[in-house]
Amino acid sequence: MSTATGRHFLQIPGPSNTPLPVLAAIAKPTIDHRGPEFRDLALDVLTRVRTVFGSAEPVVIYPASGTGAWEAALVNTLSPGDLVLMAETGWFATLWQRMATKLGLETEFLATDWRRGAPADAIEARLREDKGHRIKAVAVVHNETSTGCVTDIAAVRRALDRASHPALLLVDTISSLASIEYRHDEWGVDVTVAGSQKGLMLPPGLSFNAVSQKARKAAETARLPRSFWDWEDMIAINAKGFFPYTPSTNLLQGLKVALDLLEGEGWPAVFARHQRAGEATRRAVRHWGFEVQCADPTAESPVLTAVRLPEGHSADRFRQIVLERSNMSLGNGLGPLADRVFRIGHLGDFHDGLVAGVIAAVELGLTQAGIPHQSGGIQAALASLAGNAGPVAS
C-alpha cells in the first residue's frame, strides 16, 4: 500500500501535469461525434491549433500517442526503399529511425555523442554529395527528450536550401511544441509531428501532423501502405468539422481549454517561463557540482534537464528515494543513459514557485541518497528565477 502524502509532483519530461480546468473539460459528458456541438468544437480547435505550429496549413489530429504521428509522417510521404537522412541525437531519434527501418525505408543515421542537437553542417555536406537526390526526407527531433538538447530547425532548413536539395523536412516536436517557439511555415518544415501530453498539458492520447503543401503533394505518389493515418481522408472531412473515425472527443474538449489557457497567458510569456525554468534548473545542477547532459550551451533545453550523476551513483536509486520521500517522479535515463542520468521535467503547467519546489526536493534527495554535492543549488536557482522574472506588476 502506498503511504505517499501530499500532492504528487509529476516532474518527468512528459506526460506533464494537467491543469484542473483542462481535467474538468475532459470530465464533461461524452458528446455525439457527429453532432453540431462536436462540429463547433472541432472547427474551433482545428483552426486554433495551427497557430501553435506557426502554420496556416492543415493540422491533422489523431487519437494516438506521438509514436502514431511519427508513423503518419513517414507513411504519408514516402515509398518502400526511400532513403531518409536522420540524426542520432538521442533515444527518441533512435526510436524514430528504427520505425523507419521497420516500415521498409532505408535510413542514414548521422552519429552524435548524445550531447548536442542535430548537426546542420553534416546534414548539408551529406545532401551536397547526394547529386542524384536519393535522399527523400531529412528527419530530425526538435527537442531530444532523452538528453535535453534542442536542434536548431532553422539551421537544418538552411542546410537543405544551401545544398539546393528537394528532400522533405520532417520534424518531431513532441516534447517542444507549445513550450519552445516553433515556426512550421517560416522554417519550411514539411511535416511537424507533435503530441498532447507534453507542452499542451493534456493527458496522453492525441497526436498531430502539421502538413505543408509540398508534403501533401508527395503524399499523392507515396506508396507506403496507409489507411488509419491517411491525411487526405482526414483533411477532407475535417473541413466540415468531423473525422473519418471516432475522434478522442473528451481530449479535444480538453484541448480547447488548454489552448484558452496558453493563449490567455500569451505565447511569449509561455516560452519565457520555460526558459526561466531551464536556466534556474541548470544553475542548481552546476552549483551541486554535476554536469548537464547537453554539452552545447546554445542547445540547452527549456523543457527538461538531464543530470549526469557522478560515476558510481545510481540515478535510478536516487529517483526511487525522491519518489518515496518527496512523492515526486523524475524521468529515468533512456538507452545508454539508463541509470547514468535522471531527468527533471519543467514543462507544461507550472510556475516559478513550483520550479523552486522541484529543485529543493532534488537537493533534499541528494542528501538523503548520500550523493556528495555542494549544497545551496536551491539558492542559486532562486537567484536565477528572481533575476529573470522581470519587474513585478504594480
Q: Shortest CA distance to 90 belongs to which of 118, 64, 66?
A: 118
Choosing from 19, 54, 58, 66, the residue that interacts with ligand PLP (CB under 6 A) is 66
Q: How far is the CB of 197 from ligand PLP (least distance, A)?
A: 6
Nearer to ligand PLP, 293 or 326 (CB): 293
| Residue 227: DSSP 8-state | S
- Give the HSE-up count for residue 283: Cα atoms under 13 Å, Cβ half-sphere: 22
Give the range of 4-12, 64-72, 260-268, 274-282 binding ligand PLP by CB under 6 A.
64-72
Q: How far is the CB of 306 from ligand PLP (least distance, A)?
A: 12
**How many chain residues bind ligand PLP (CB under 6 A)?**
12
* Spatial distance between the Cα atoms of 91 and 109, rounded to a whole number of angstroms: 13
Q: Strand pairing partners for 83?
A: 106, 135
Nearer to ligand PLP, 204 or 241 (CB): 204
288 binds ligand PLP (CB under 6 A): no
From residue 179 to residue 218, what is the string marking binding to ligand PLP with x (rule CB under 6 A)?
Answer: ----------------x--------x--------------
| Residue 300: DSSP 8-state | B
Rounded CA Rg of the chain: 21
172 binds ligand PLP (CB under 6 A): yes
* Spatial distance between the Cα atoms of 62 and 174, rounded to a whole number of angstroms: 13
From residue 117 to residue 146, what is the string marking binding to ligand PLP with x (rule CB under 6 A)?
Answer: ------------------------x---x-
Nearer to ligand PLP, 76 or 197 (CB): 197
User: Strand order in 191-195's β-sheet?
Assistant: 59-62, 207-211, 191-195, 168-172, 135-141, 83-88, 106-111
- Give the HSE-up count for residue 193: Cα atoms under 13 Å, Cβ half-sphere: 27
327 binds ligand PLP (CB under 6 A): no
Provide the binding-site residues for ligand PLP, judged by CB under 6 A: 14, 65-67, 92, 141, 145, 172, 174-175, 195, 204
